[in-house]
Amino acid sequence: MNIQRFHAPTARQALAKARMAFGDGTLILSNRPTPEGVEVLATAEDTLGRFDGASAPSAQPAPPVLPVRNAPAPGPGRNPVEEDAERLSMSTLSFQDYVRERMLRRRHEASPEAGNGGQAPAAPRRGRGAPAPGADPAPAQRQNHAMHELQTMQALIEERLDTLAWLGQAGQNPIQSQLMLKLIRAGYSPGLARALLERMPPALTPAQAVRWIMQTLELNLRTEADAPALHERGGIFALTGSTGVGKTSSAAKLAALCARSHGAASVGLVTLDNCRAGAHEQLRAYGRTLGIVAHLAHDRAALQDLLGLLGGKKMVLIDTAGVAPRDPRRRELLDMLELPQVQRLLVLNAGCHGDTLDDMLGAFRSAGPQQAILSKVDEAVKLGPAIDACIRHQLVLRAVTRGQRGPEDWERADAQQLVGASMRAPARSAFDPKAADLGFFFAHSPASGHPEGQGHA
């Protein structure tokens, strides 16, 4: 199914380009304004005509044709992305049949004739002004419901057609196709990978394209490299996050850095973790090696008193209890930290899955700039998911930690170093996609729901 995009400053020029490509039988699928002008999505009428027989309505609603995971290897001379696009086009047409048949069946079941063998019942005599018995009380509701289904179907079809066009263009550009596969294998999300490749300038050599991708990722990964380091700037910081991400170890490393530069008397340590066995003792043991006393606060009032007592310190670090994103105690913990002078540092495990990072970022979001520390970088097989989450959620990545040693395992976040490490090819994994699988990654938009009976890869 040959679907192409045409860009031009005006709609007339874009339509002219489409007619030059497909002739008089040009079918315009959609158009939308872009920063450069107008984008038109078009195909040829005879291309759609070949599927007329397959899309004819049947007596029973046809189930949607789902992508096949164990598809045979593409034959010689065939582009795997084009084959994915062809499978997706058949799925889109079958889905149209499915939605149309479902709407017709529901409309038939809701009609008065459906329960009387196809014949309308005789209307009994009634007085003037009396409502007809059996009259439909809410015809507008059925009409609005049908309009909602049509709009949902239209949005899903437009999204699928847009995906087909994009996959077709990627198939015609081997550099773009290989970069797309490289980004997905590195752990970056399909949404970010597509956004990057759609903005990549054309006519780049392979080396230039890779360099452009990496530079764009570096520019979008906020690290504030020109700002003073945390231990030099000072302030009150609360380290938050889920259980086991390394909050206490990160607090100890940051305290050691500040103590080494400004003396042990410049650092204050407070823990709010009175749930985990030995949590206070762990921070107290770290403090003893640095000559710093670690204090325990049981509630918000005690925390305010301690912060007033430690007000003359250059840096005060608050170690919090680890709670899961859906733990009801999370809200209570965050409310304790709602103090004007307290800044939050969200500690993220660099080895976590992208969905886990998204869940944690949504649960621990706070007002103002979001600051984060990437921990356990040495344990992460792929850094792509963590960098992807930082970019999409617009975090300010202040530092990375590795290992269990002291301040030598604390590093300022370097965007170039992190992106370079994420794009280096790791060892082959059973979870790595192949070129023929890319259609599955880009076939569904997260913003649109799943229709009844349809799954996704």
Q: What is the pLDDT along the chain (457 residues), one digit of tens a residue?
A: 577 888 888 888 888 888 888 887 777 777 788 888 888 877 876 665 554 444 434 333 333 333 333 334 344 444 444 444 444 444 444 545 555 666 666 666 666 555 555 454 444 444 444 455 555 556 667 667 777 777 777 666 666 655 555 555 555 567 888 888 889 889 999 889 888 888 888 888 989 999 999 999 999 999 988 888 999 999 999 999 998 899 999 999 999 999 999 999 999 999 987 666 556 678 888 888 889 999 999 889 999 999 999 989 999 999 998 888 888 888 888 889 999 889 999 999 999 999 999 999 999 988 777 899 999 999 999 999 999 999 999 999 999 998 877 788 899 999 999 999 999 866 677 777 776 666 655 554 444 333 333 333 3
Helices (H), 263-377: 279-290, 300-309, 329-336, 354-363
Distance, CA of 221 to CA of 182 (rounded, Å): 19
Query: What's 281's DSSP letter?
Result: H
Taking a C-beta distance cutoff of 8 angstroms, is the pair 258, 231 a contact? yes
Distance, CA of 316 to CA of 342 (rounded, Å): 9
b/e sequence 279-310, b meaning 16+ C-beta within 10 Å? bbebbbebbeebebebbbbeeeeebeebbeeb
Distance, CA of 381 to CA of 404 (rounded, Å): 18
Structure tokens at 339: 């103090």
At residue 34, the 3 state secondary structure works out as strand
How does DSSP assign 283-301, residue by residue? HHHHHHHHT--EEE--SHH
Strands 267-271 and 4-8 come out as unpaired
The angle subtended at Cα 83 by Cα 451 and Cα 68, nearest 5°, is 45
Distances (CA, A) of 158 to 94, 165, 208, 319: 15, 11, 33, 49
Distance, CA of 72 to CA of 251 (rounded, Å): 52
pLDDT of residue 46: 67
At residue 372, the 3 state secondary structure works out as strand
Distance, CA of 15 to CA of 22 (rounded, Å): 10
**Which one, of 279, 304, 308, lies nearest residue 294 by Cα?**
279
- Cα dihedral 349, 354, 360, 364 in deg (nearest 10): 90
Measured N-to-C along each axis, helices 190-199 and 174-185 cross at an angle, to the nearest 10 degrees, of 150
Structure tokens at 162: 């847009």
pTM exceeds cut of 0.85: no
